[in-house]
Amino acid sequence: MTDTHLDDTAFDDIAFDDIAFDALKAELDAWVRGPGEVWAERIEAEGDVPRELYDELRERGWLSLAAPVALGGRGIPFSRYLELLEIVSRSHGSIRMLVHVNNGLWRALEPFVDDAQRELLRHSVSGEALIAFTLTEATAGTGTDIRSTVRREGDDYVLNGEKHLITFGVKCDYWLLFARLEGTSTADGAAGTVALLVPNSGIPGIEVIDDSDTMGVRGTDHAVLRFRDARVPVSARVGQEGEGLAVALGGFLLPSRVSVAMSAVGLAERAQELAVDYALTRETFGKRLAERPVIQAYLAENYADIAAARALVLEAARAYEEGRADAGALSSASKIVAVDMLARVTDKALQVHGGQGYWRRNPIERVYRDARAQRFEEGTNEIQKTVVAREVLKRAAAHPRKDPA
C-alpha cells in the first residue's frame, strides 16, 4: 500500500507554500479514499492496527505534520494542519487517532524537556517512538485530583497508583505519566504534581492490562496501568516538581480539544457523503430517496450543522494561534458544538440508510460507532460546559454592566 508522496521538507520555508499544501491535501484525500479504506477493512476484521500501517503513516510524514521544523516536523500552522486532520478523520477512527495524537503530544513536552528528553521528543515527532498521554484515572478526574503518587528515594521516584483508558498504553514506547507527590493533596492544587516519561520496558511493579475491546475506534489499543512500588529514575521527570499539570494541560489539551472538534467535523462530512450517495441510488416505491422531502430535510440540516461547527472550530484555532484571551473558552465551545453536531449528523445519516445502515457491511455502521468516542475524548461535554461557563462568568465579573441612569 505504498506509492510516491511529497517530500517532507515542502513546508520548511518561512513563507507557507499553498501549492505544496494543496497537493498534500489531494494526496491525503486520495489515500483516505483508496488505501485508507483497505486498511480500515483490515483493522475491523482483525481488531488491531497493523505495525505496517503505523510505519506507512510515519514514512509519509503524516505523523509529523504540525511539529516545528526544529523538532523534525513540517511546521504546518495549526489552523492549516486542521484542514489535513479534517481529511484524515473521514477515514477509520484508529487512523485518525494515530495522526491526531502524534501531531499534538509534542506541545505538552517541548517547553519542559531537557536535552536528553528533547532527543526522545524528536523520535516521537518522527514516529520512531510512540508516547502515550497517561493522565486519566478510574477513581479521579483528569486534573488536580489525580491520586497516583510518587515519593523520592535517592535518585528514584517510587510510583504507586492506577491509570485507565490510556490510549496506546499497551504498545507505546513511553508513557507521559502524571502523579502527585506523596504528602500533598488536592488542596495543594497543581503544586504537588509531577510529570514523568516512563519507558514501557517491563519495569518491576508496573502491570499493563490490555483493555482494548471498545465499541468503536476498533484496533487502537487501550490500557489499564497499575503501579506498585515501581522505581523510576528522577531523570525521567519532565520539568520541575509542581509542574506536572502545566505539562499536561498547558500546551496540549487546549489545541487537542480543537483537534478533536475538527475530527468530529471530518467524520460528520464522511457520514453526510455516505448518506447523499445512498439517497441518490436507493429507490423505494419508484422514487429515489433523494426525491423525498424528509430525506432532503435531513441532508440540508446536516449540511448546515457541519458548516456551522466547522466555522467555530476554525475560529477557535485562530484564537489559539493568536494567543487570544478567549482561546480556552472557544476551544471547549468548539468541542461542545462539534461533537453534538456529529451525533445528530451520524444519526440522520444512518436513518437515511434505513435498516441497511445497521449492518456491518455498510461503512455508515462503522462511522456511527466511531462517532461516539469524541463525546468523551479530551474531556466530556459536561466538563467543557463548566470550562466555558467559568470563563463567561469571570468575564462578566471583570466587566460588570452599568445600569443606565
Kindly report, residue by residue over 286-297, the tens digit of the pLDDT: 999 999 999 999
Instruction: Compute the distance between CA of residue 276 and CA of residue 139 in angstroms, rounded to an integer.
Output: 44
Instruction: Compute the distance between CA of residue 312 and CA of residue 272 in angstroms, rounded to an integer.
Output: 19
Assess whether pLDDT exceeds 50 at residue 181.
yes
Assess whether pLDDT exceeds 50 at residue 386.
yes
Q: Can you give the residue ranges of every domain in the chain? A: 18-126, 131-242, 246-395
Going by the DSSP 8-state scheme, the letter that residue 248 receives in this structure is I
Which residue reads 440540516 in cell numbers?
301
Task: Kindly indicate whether the domain formed by 18-126 is annotated with CATH number 3.30.450.20.
Answer: no
CATH classification of 131-242, choosing from 3.40.50.300, 2.40.110.10, 1.10.240.10, 3.90.1150.10? 2.40.110.10
Using DSSP, how many helices (H) and how many strands (E) does the chain show? 13, 10
Kindly report, residue by residue over 64-101, the tens digit of the pLDDT: 999 999 999 999 999 999 999 999 999 999 999 999 99
- A 10 A CB-CB count for 384 gives 22
Instruction: Compute the distance between CA of residue 346 and CA of residue 348 in angstroms, rounded to an integer.
Output: 5
Grid coordinates belonging to 79: 489552523
Task: Please tell me whether the overall predicted TM-score, pTM, comes out greater than 0.95 for this model.
Answer: no
Signed CA dihedral, 375, 67, 89, 225: sign only: negative
Instruction: Compute the distance between CA of residue 112 and CA of residue 117 in angstroms, rounded to an integer.
Output: 9
Q: Which helix (H) or strand (E) holds 161?
A: strand 156-167
CATH says 246-395 is which class? Answer: mainly alpha
Tell me, what's the pLDDT at 310? 98
Tell me, what's the pLDDT at 13? 44
Tell me, what's the pLDDT at 1? 40
Tell me, what's the pLDDT at 50? 94
Confidence of residue 404 (pLDDT cuts 50, 70, 90): low
Between strands 283-284 and 287-288, the pairing is antiparallel
Tell me, what's the pLDDT at 230? 98
Which residue reads 467559568 in cell numbers?
390
